[in-house]
Amino acid sequence: MKIIEKLYEKQNWAKLAPWLGIISTIFLFIFFRPDQAMFWALVNIPLYLFHQTEEHFWPGGFKKYINRVINKLPEGEEILTDQKVFWINIILVWIAFIIFGALSFINIGFGFHIRLPGGWELLFSQLLFMP
């Protein structure tokens, strides 16, 4: 089995999120202070890792909620699969985090656009998950 397939199988990638959240929090406090603007621009990274932990790992349930409650699919039928959850969270979310995080070193304003509630991730969710 390929590494990528192993990561998205049973949402194994999400099991790394709490550990990466702890590590990124430690690095955040090592390299920045809360009185610095860059701290607040980059604090989104560990916060989002912890968000992914609760959404997909512990207690989890996001995929099941989308498939059963939103799309009203019977057990065993899925529109939102483990593979789609992986690609949306790894590619769409983390590529944006890297881009905006790096740009925030040039202009701090970019750091505050890392996570826009109801923004581009909502658009992709609607395009991929709704029948």
pLDDT in tens, 63-87: 999 899 989 999 999 999 999 999 8
pLDDT of residue 118: 45
Dist. CA 111–CA 99, nearest whole Å? 9
pTM of the model: 0.79
Dist. CA 48–CA 41, nearest whole Å? 12
pLDDT of residue 35: 95
Counting residues of the chain whose pLDDT is more than 90, the rounded percentage is: 43
CA distances from 120 to 50, 85, 99, 130 (A): 20, 15, 14, 15
How many domains does one find in the chain?
A: 1
List the domain range (segments joined by +) for residue 11.
Answer: 3-129
Residues of the chain with pLDDT under 70: 1, 112-131
